[in-house]
Amino acid sequence: MNVVSPQQLKLKIDDASEVSALLLRPSTAQACFVFAHGAGAGMTHEFMERVSFGLFERNVATLRYQFPYMESGSKRPDAPTVAHVVVRAAVDEAARCCPGLALIAGGKSFGGRMTSQAQSIAPLAGVRGLAFLGFPLHPAGKPSDIRAKHLDEVDIPMLFVQGTRDKLAELTLLEPVVTRLGPSATLHRVRDADHSFHVPARSGRNDREVMTEVLDALSAWIATCA
């Protein structure tokens, strides 16, 4: 059981609205991961918590936050223009709460894509790199790389942590994208994992072992940016 508790925060989006956030900061942290959730589950989902506490144990702070639709209990994700504003607010809050720490932004699936879109439009202040945990390259069953077009406009390092069985990112499409992006982009393949980083029993591994791999890869890459 984790003995630390995240600090509860509120992110002001505009004069009339705000969303919740959770900051988990080790005393020895040198970087903070501004961590956005996926489309179907919010910042307190088990996956989000495991990543945040796992990074805490690896001396990386995390700022998790809600998008407005999740905060209000809706199942329909916000329009990108709304999501981008929230991403920027979260980055600004991380800079305020964690002065002196290197900032990395990104997230799970939808959250990572919204972060990269925001960065492609205008650089996120102080952010040194983007990390994606299951980048949603295309809808399930509709392979395409059109969702990666904006990544050409991102000029900071990017990490793609991707399961080899991810139905939202066929590796035959994602690998050429990463190659096209050049040396600033890194692809870490998680053998036998799906979009949620689950692995079948026949793989010979379990989800706990996979999570350890994901966290080790992510924290090591963050250290190179920090």
Characterize the bridge pairing of strands 127-133 and 158-163: parallel
Characterize the bridge pairing of strands 61-65 and 31-36: parallel
What sign does the dihedral 93-98-104-107 (CA atoms) show? negative
Query: What are the residue boundaries of the structural domains of the chain, listed by start?
Result: 7-225
pLDDT per residue as tens digits for the range 181-223: 999 999 999 999 999 999 999 999 999 999 999 999 999 999 9
Predicted confidence at residue 1, as pLDDT, reads: 43
Cβ neighbours of residue 46 under 8 Å, at least 6 residues apart?
none
CA gap 32, 145 in Å, rounded: 29
Q: To the nearest whole percent, how much of the chain has pLDDT over 70? A: 99
Structure tokens at 86: 């929230």
CA gap 157, 65 in Å, rounded: 22
- Mean pLDDT, the chain, rounded, equals 96
CA gap 213, 125 in Å, rounded: 29
Contact between 158 and 132 (Cβ < 8 Å)? yes
Which architecture characterizes domain 7-225 according to CATH? 3-Layer(aba) Sandwich (3.40)
Taking residues 29-52, report their average pLDDT. Answer: 97
Predicted confidence at residue 226, as pLDDT, reads: 86
Q: What is the largest CA-CA distance in the chain?
A: 52
Predicted confidence at residue 2, as pLDDT, reads: 54
